[in-house]
Structure 1
Amino acid sequence: MPNFKPNLLSMAILAFGAISLPTYAQDASSTEDAEDALEEVVVTGFRQSLVNALDKKRASDMVTEQLSADDLGGLPDVSMADALTRLPGISAVRTGGQAAEINIRGMSGGFVFSTLNGREQVSTSGSRSIEFDQYPSELISSAAVYKSPKASLIEGAVAGMVELSTANPLERTQQHTFNANVRSMYNDRAGEISDAVEFGHRLSFSYQGKFADDTLGIALGYARLYQPSVSTQFAGLAYNSAVDLDQIEGDIDGPDSAPEGEFVSEGIELQHRGGEETRDGFMASVQWEPVENFSLKADAFLSTFDTEAFARGFRVKFEPTKASFANTDIRENFMVGGTINRVTDGETRVEIVNDDNTDYDEVQSYGVNADWQVTEALNVKLDVSLSRASSDFRNGLLWSLVAEDANADVPVFDNNVSINYQLNGLSLPDIGLNQADYFTDINKVMVSKYGIYPFVNTDEVNATKLDVKYDFDLPVLASIEAGVRISSREYTNDRSVFEYGADNDFLTSEPPLKLTEDMVEVVDWEGDFSYFPSYLAVDVDKALNAWFPNGVPQPVQSWGSGALGVINPAPGSTVSHTWAVLQSGSVFEDTLAGYVMVNLDTEVAGIPVTGNIGVRAVKTEQYATSLANVGGDALAGAQYVEDEEGYINENYAPSIQGIEYTDYLPQMNLNFAITDNDQIRFAAAKVMSRPPINRLASDASLYFSDTGVISGNASNSPALKSFYADQLDLSYEHYFEESDGAVAVALFYKDIESTGIVTETLPQFDFAGAGFNVPETYVDETSGEPKAYKNGDYEVAYNDQDGGYIQGVEFAYTQVFSMLPKPLDGLGVNLSYSYTESEIEKQRVLGVSEVKQTLEGLSKNVISTSVFYSFKDFETRISVRSRDKFVSDQVAVESQTVYFAGETVVDYQASYNVTDNLGIVFQINNLTDEPTRSYFNTEDQTGTIQYFGRQFFMGVTYSM
Structure 2
Amino acid sequence: MNKFKLSILTVAIAAGVSSYSYAQEQETKLSATEAREKAKADAAIETIEIKGFRRSLYDSLNEKRYSDVISESVSADDLGSLPDVSIADALARLPGVTAVRTGGQAGALNIRGLSGDFVFATLNGREQVSPSGSRTVEFDQFPSELISQASVYKSPKASLIEGGVAGSIEMKTASPLSKTKDHSVNLNLRGSFNDRADQVPDATEYGNRISGSYSGKFLDETLGFAVGYSRLFQPSVATQFVGLAYNGGSMDTNADGTSEVISEGFELQHLGGKETRDGYMTAIEWRPNSAVTVKGDVFYSEFKSEEFARGFRVKSLNNGNITNGVVADGAMIGGTVSRIPGRDFLVQTTNDDNTDTDKVLSTGLNIEWMATDQLTLTGDISTSQSDSNFINGVNWSLAFADANAVNPVVANDASVTYLLNGLNVPSVAFNRDYTDLDSVMMAKIGIYPYVNSDEVNALRLDGKYDLQDSEFFSSVEAGVRISEREARNDRSVFEFGNDFGNYAPGQGPLKLTEDMVREVNFSGEFSGLPSYLAIDLNKALDAWLGAGNYTPQKDLRSDWTFLNSNTVNEDVTAAYIQGNLDTEMFGVPVTGNLGLRVVRTDQSSTGYLNVGQDTPETETVCDEGGRCTDNFVLSTRGHTFTKSLPSVNLNFILTDDDQIRFAAAKVMGRPPIADLAAGGGSWIDGGKFNVWSRGPDLEPFMAKQFDLSYEHYFENDDGAFSFAIFNKDIDSFVQTTVINNPDFDALGIPMPEFDPNNPGQALVPGIYETKTNNAKGGYIRGFEAAVTKTFSFLPGIWSGLGTNISYSYTKSEIEQTNNLSGSSRTISLPGLSPKVISATLYFDYDKFSTRVSARYRDAFIGEQVAVETQLAYYSDETVMDYQASYKVTENLDVLFQVNNLTDEPTKTYFGNEAQTGTLQYFGRQYYFGVNYSM
TM-score by length of 1: 0.90
Q: Is the 8 Å Cα contact of residues 350 and 396 (structure 2) preserved in structure 1?
A: yes
**How far apart in 2 are the matches of 1:350 and 1:325?**
14
Residue equivalent to 1:345: 342
Matches within 5 A, 1:778-789: 778=757
Q: Is the 8 Å Cα contact of residues 491 and 694 (structure 1) preserved in structure 2?
A: no
**How far apart in 2 are the matches of 1:765 and 1:659?**
19
Q: Does 1:167 align with 2:163?
A: no
Q: Which amino acid aligns with 1:812?
A: A
Shift, 1:643, TM fit: 2.4
**How far apart in 2 are the matches of 1:295 and 1:85?**
34
Q: Does 1:757 align with 2:729?
A: no
- CA displacement, residues 732-776 of structure 1 (integer Å, 9 cap, x when unaligned): 00011134211100000001112x321356899999999632752
1:866 to 1:403, Cα distance in 2 relative to 1, 3 A: same
Residue equivalent to 1:625: 606
Tell me the SS of whatever aligns to 2:140. helix
Residue equivalent to 2:782: 808
Residue equivalent to 2:51: 44
The counterpart of 2:521, out of the listed 488, 511, 524, is: 524
The counterpart of 1:586, out of the listed 551, 557, 567, is: 567
Tell me the SS of whatever aligns to 1:772. coil
**How far apart in 2 are the matches of 1:71 and 1:250?**
61
**How far apart in 1 are the matches of 2:517 and 2:161?**
54
The counterpart of 1:672, out of the listed 652, 663, 688, is: 652
The counterpart of 2:582, out of the listed 601, 607, 627, is: 601
Residue equivalent to 1:662: 642
**How far apart in 1 are the matches of 2:730 and 2:438?**
60
1:457 to 1:28, Cα distance in 2 relative to 1, 3 A: closer
**How far apart in 1 are the matches of 2:724 and 2:35?**
30
The counterpart of 1:289, out of the listed 283, 287, 297, is: 287
**How far apart in 1 are the matches of 2:834 and 2:648?**
27
Q: Is the 8 Å Cα contact of residues 347 and 415 (structure 2) preserved in structure 1?
A: no
**How far apart in 1 are the matches of 2:911 and 2:342?**
31
Q: Does 1:134 align with 2:144?
A: no
Residue equivalent to 1:891: 865
Residue equivalent to 1:221: 228
- CA displacement, residues 228-272 of structure 1 (integer Å, 9 cap, x when unaligned): 0000000000111322327x9599xxxxxxxx9532110010000
Q: Does 1:823 align with 2:821?
A: no
Residue equivalent to 1:497: 493
Structure 1 runs not aligned, ≥5 long: 1-24, 252-259, 560-575, 780-784
Residue equivalent to 1:366: 363
Q: Which amino acid aligns with 2:400?
A: A
Q: Which amino acid aligns with 1:836?
A: T
Q: Does 1:237 align with 2:241?
A: no
Tell me the SS of whatever aligns to 2:283. strand
1:934 to 1:876, Cα distance in 2 relative to 1, 3 A: same
**How far apart in 2 are the matches of 1:691 and 1:702?**
24
- CA displacement, residues 420-460 of structure 1 (integer Å, 9 cap, x when unaligned): 2221111111222222xx20011100011111000001000
1:499 to 1:795, Cα distance in 2 relative to 1, 3 A: farther
Q: Is the 8 Å Cα contact of residues 739 and 818 (structure 1) preserved in structure 2?
A: no
Q: Is the 8 Å Cα contact of residues 478 and 577 (structure 2) preserved in structure 1?
A: yes
The counterpart of 1:457, out of the listed 452, 468, 485, is: 452
Q: Does 1:873 align with 2:880?
A: no
Q: Which amino acid aligns with 2:592?
A: G
Q: Which amino acid aligns with 1:529?
A: F
1:31 to 1:168, Cα distance in 2 relative to 1, 3 A: closer
Shift, 1:72, TM fit: 7.5
Q: Is the 8 Å Cα contact of residues 71 and 141 (structure 1) preserved in structure 2?
A: no
1:373 to 1:314, Cα distance in 2 relative to 1, 3 A: same
**How far apart in 1 are the matches of 2:441 and 2:764?**
38
Residue equivalent to 2:752: 773
Q: Which amino acid aligns with 1:492?
A: R
1:139 to 1:713, Cα distance in 2 relative to 1, 3 A: same
Q: Is the 8 Å Cα contact of residues 32 and 582 (structure 2) preserved in structure 1?
A: no
Residue equivalent to 2:11: none
Q: Is the 8 Å Cα contact of residues 81 and 132 (structure 1) preserved in structure 2?
A: yes
Tell me the SS of whatever aligns to 1:778. coil
- CA displacement, residues 376-398 of structure 1 (integer Å, 9 cap, x when unaligned): 11111111000000000111111
Tell me the SS of whatever aligns to 1:87. coil
Q: Which amino acid aligns with 1:290?
A: P
1:589 to 1:37, Cα distance in 2 relative to 1, 3 A: closer
**How far apart in 1 are the matches of 2:210 and 2:600?**
44
Q: Is the 8 Å Cα contact of residues 72 and 179 (structure 1) preserved in structure 2?
A: no
**How far apart in 2 are the matches of 1:303 and 1:459?**
15
Q: Is the 8 Å Cα contact of residues 622 and 658 (structure 1) preserved in structure 2?
A: yes
Q: Which amino acid aligns with 1:925?
A: N
Q: Does 1:923 align with 2:897?
A: yes
Q: What RMSD, in angstroms, separates the aligned Cα atoms of the two structures?
A: 2.6
- CA displacement, residues 155-209 of structure 1 (integer Å, 9 cap, x when unaligned): 0011000000001110111110000010000000001111100000001000010
Residue equivalent to 1:332: 329
TM-score by length of 2: 0.92
**How far apart in 2 are the matches of 1:31 and 1:218?**
27
1:508 to 1:669, Cα distance in 2 relative to 1, 3 A: closer
- CA displacement, residues 828-869 of structure 1 (integer Å, 9 cap, x when unaligned): 111111011111111123377421111111111101111110
Shift, 1:646, TM fit: 2.7
1:862 to 1:958, Cα distance in 2 relative to 1, 3 A: same
Shift, 1:820, TM fit: 1.9
Q: Does 1:421 align with 2:418?
A: yes
Q: Which amino acid aligns with 2:570?
A: E
**How far apart in 2 are the matches of 1:427 and 1:459?**
40
Q: Is the 8 Å Cα contact of residues 753 and 762 (structure 2) preserved in structure 1?
A: no
Q: Which amino acid aligns with 2:665?
A: A
Residue equivalent to 1:87: 94
Matches within 5 A, 1:640-659: 640-659=620-639
Tell me the SS of whatever aligns to 2:405. coil
Shift, 1:332, TM fit: 2.9
The counterpart of 2:662, out of the listed 682, 696, 718, is: 682
Residue equivalent to 1:541: 538
Q: Which moved more, 1:142-151 or 1:32-41?
A: 32-41
Shift, 1:789, TM fit: 10
Tell me the SS of whatever aligns to 1:825. helix
Residue equivalent to 1:484: 480
Shift, 1:647, TM fit: 2.4
Q: Does 1:515 align with 2:496?
A: no
Shift, 1:27, TM fit: 12
- CA displacement, residues 458-502 of structure 1 (integer Å, 9 cap, x when unaligned): 000000011111111211122111110000000111100011110
Tell me the SS of whatever aligns to 1:640. strand
Matches within 5 A, 1:148-227: 148-227=155-234
Q: Which moved more, 1:25-34 or 1:112-121?
A: 25-34
**How far apart in 2 are the matches of 1:344 and 1:403?**
13
1:460 to 1:44, Cα distance in 2 relative to 1, 3 A: same
**How far apart in 2 are the matches of 1:788 and 1:34?**
76
**How far apart in 2 are the matches of 1:787 and 1:527?**
64
Q: Which moved more, 1:36-45 or 1:185-194?
A: 36-45
Q: Which moved more, 1:339-348 or 1:129-138?
A: 339-348
The counterpart of 2:84, out of the listed 77, 80, 86, is: 77
Q: Is the 8 Å Cα contact of residues 82 and 885 (structure 2) preserved in structure 1?
A: no
**How far apart in 2 are the matches of 1:793 and 1:411?**
45
**How far apart in 1 are the matches of 2:907 and 2:458?**
41
- CA displacement, residues 847-895 of structure 1 (integer Å, 9 cap, x when unaligned): 7742111111111110111111012111110000101001110111110
**How far apart in 2 are the matches of 1:369 and 1:457?**
29
1:629 to 1:772, Cα distance in 2 relative to 1, 3 A: farther
Residue equivalent to 2:105: 98
Tell me the SS of whatever aligns to 2:705. strand
